[in-house]
Amino acid sequence: MENFIVSARKYRPSSFQTVVGQQSITVTLKNAIKNAHLAHAYLFCGPRGVGKTSCARIFAKTINCSNVSSDFEACNTCESCLAFNENRSYNIHELDAASNNSVDDIRTLIDQVRIPPQIGKYSVYIIDEVHMLSQSAFNAFLKTLEEPPAHAIFVLATTEKHKIIPTILSRCQIFDFSRIKVADAVNHLAHIAQEEGITINEEALNVIAQKADGAMRDALSIFDQIVSFSGKNINFENVIQNLNVLDYDYYFKMVDAFLQGKVTDVLILFNEIVEKGFDGHHFVAGLSSHIRDILVGKDVATLQLLEVSDSVKEKYTEQAKKCEVDFLYDALGILNECDIHYKSSQNHRLLIELTLIQLSQIIESKKKGASLKKNFRRLLKIRVEGRASAPKVAGAKDKAPVHPQQEAQKPAQTHSGQSQQKVSTTSSPSPTSISIKAAMSRGIVNRPASSSSPEIKSKESEAKYTNVQNQAYTSESVVEKLKEYTIVRKKSDRIRLAIANCEAEIRTGGQLVVKVSNQIQEDDIAAVKNEMVNYLKRELQNSTIDFIIEITQTETKKRLYTDTDKFKYLCQKNPLLEQLKQKFSLDFE
């Protein structure tokens, strides 16, 4: 039986040209070899399975090759290349930092670095998963990494760049490897399938590439798994069955049911998906991705963002024509809410079914909303026409005057252009049945100006204090009324405290000044000053009252901290203490 080698090892890149999806990095490394601009330390960062270690091995083999080709690839015929290909090279050392992460391991490496290579120019040390080194190991490695021997080159590889200390990062040339694109993975898998004599369609390759999530090594492992399941002939159904991936058709059918508002069909289709063993959370995530892909398919410019085969792109384009953008936005919002609350829900299936029902009702809800808006506009049009044809009659009851002085000002407060005599002479009809809608429409059209409007309130307040006889007042009465104001009006504790600590002063010319102790109290009182002034005018019966706010400059008393200061203060009150100190030669401890 022939020994089987997994595709990830069998088709591992052996030259820069065979590296998949990292063209910018391979070109940079080849130019460095071409110009002899080799750094002493490199750091390769990126997700798993994207070619970090493979590029490090190819780079190490190429710089030690004695017959580099014109395109700066290793010749694979010289002694150094043959030794590397047969895994017997003493110039290239691979270490796993996960199992060699102690200080002693790094010290052993430092001692080994001093030995020059037997064949070739450089000793290359490839340290994989370098982020697994301990803090002390990193510190021990710093000096050697900064000033290694001329023949030593370090290539560090990691999937978690953020775990490496900054002093290591600053000593390396950093290369960030990107995820393998779906198109690149599909092309590479198609090449391998052709080499192995396997028949597979493009849709199946797309599913494998998407399942790999940007890792070429994972894609090759999945490919081997599918080959073991299906043999030499692989189709789309075999792939989704083996990988437990939900078919695109279910999502397309689900969205069609949403657009038609068929709740029953949606629930039956979801039940069929559950019976096939698919997880509900994965279904919600897949449906969200499907809605997103439909949104992307709405515009030709964004169609390139779809990482699917051309036949599936056509399906997305056709369904995107049926969907409104507002529907897609609402659907994404509803599915996102379901995804957020899925873990905290006690009944996952019920949550998903309620979400699907909401999605089925989006179109119907928008139709109802449109009809309501249409009816509202029609009613508004009728109301406006009724307002234009309605007679202008002032129907408002005159309020009894609060003060005798206001009776003289009543004619000024009545509405201009309206005759009150017509209202008084109009005979009141006998009470009959009233139509509420008609009464509301007439009431809205013919409603008089409310007496609570700001303009009328200001006129009332002006009229209230205009004819009041001005009474004399004192600063004490002002402070008393201000304190009373904070209690009657139920003001905050800050305003009460500010009023409690304030002082009032009537200066020459009758200017009233309210003194406070700090800026905060001034701001608090200034915020309610107008209300305070009106209250003082009414309570003190003086319409000319107004005040300004001033901050008093209080002298800060010097605090006594030292024993000497305290003794001097006491001596000022009792000079005999100084004599007592001198007589008995007393001093502070």
What is the tens place of the pLDDT at every residue in 328-342? 999 999 999 999 999
Place of tokens 């303009």: 455
Asked if residues 524 and 498 have their Cβ atoms less than 8 Å apart, the reply is yes
Assess contact for 81 and 62: CB atoms under 8 A.
no
CA 30/CA 108 separation, integer angstroms: 31
Tracing tokens 């050392």 back to the chain, one arrives at: 93
Task: State the fold for domain 182-243.
Answer: Helicase, Ruva Protein; domain 3 (1.10.8)
CA distance 535 to 558: 41
pLDDT tens string 369-399: 666 566 656 665 665 565 555 554 444 444 4
Q: Select the more confidently predicted residue: 196 or 366.
A: 196
Identify the H or E element spanning 155: strand 152-158
- Position 425 scores a pLDDT of 39
Give the separation between CA 128 and CA 94, rounded to whole angstroms: 7
* Bigger pLDDT: 424 vs 152: 152
pLDDT at 405 over 60: no
What's the whole-number mean pLDDT along residues 449-477?
58
Judging by beta carbons within 10 Å of its beta carbon (0-12, 13-18, 19+), is residue 431 exposed, middle or buried?
A: exposed
Give the C-alpha separation, 59 to 155, whole Å.
9
User: CA 416 to CA 372: how far, in whole Å?
Assistant: 39
pLDDT given at position 562: 84
Length in residues, the chain: 589
Helix or strand holding residue 154 (H, E): strand 152-158
Q: How do the domains of the chain map onto residue ranges?
A: 7-176, 182-243, 248-379, 475-551, 557-588
CATH number corresponding to 475-551: 3.30.300.180
Residue 71: the pLDDT is: 86
CATH pick for 248-379 out of 3.40.50.2300, 1.20.272.10, 3.40.50.920, 1.10.220.10: 1.20.272.10
Alpha helices in 96-172 (DSSP H): 103-113, 135-146, 166-169
pTM greater than 0.85: no
C-alpha to C-alpha distance for 51 and 11, rounded to whole angstroms: 12
- Domains 248-379 and 475-551 alike in fold: no
What is the percent of the chain with per-residue pLDDT over 90, rounded to a whole number?
A: 31
**Distance between CA 421 and CA 463 in Å, rounded?**
25
Predicted local confidence at residue 434, as pLDDT: 43
**Per-residue pLDDT tens for 21-47?**
899 999 999 999 999 899 999 999 999
pLDDT digits (tens, 9 = 90+) for 415-434: 444 434 433 434 444 444 44
**pLDDT of res. 469:** 61
DSSP 8-state code for residue 390: S
Contact 465, 458 (CB under 8 A): no
Query: Would you tell me how many other CB atoms lie within 10 Å of the CB of residue 503?
Result: 14
Q: How many CB atoms lie within 10 A of CB 8?
A: 16
pLDDT of residue 447: 44
Candidate CATH numbers 3.40.1010.20, 3.40.630.30, 1.10.760.10, 3.40.50.300; the one for domain 7-176? 3.40.50.300
Mean pLDDT of the chain: 81
Q: Rounded to whole angstroms, how far apart are CA atoms 317 and 302?
A: 11
How many CB atoms sit inside 10 A of residue 143's CB?
A: 10
Predicted pLDDT of residue 185: 92
**Residue 146: count of CB within 10 angstroms of its CB:** 13
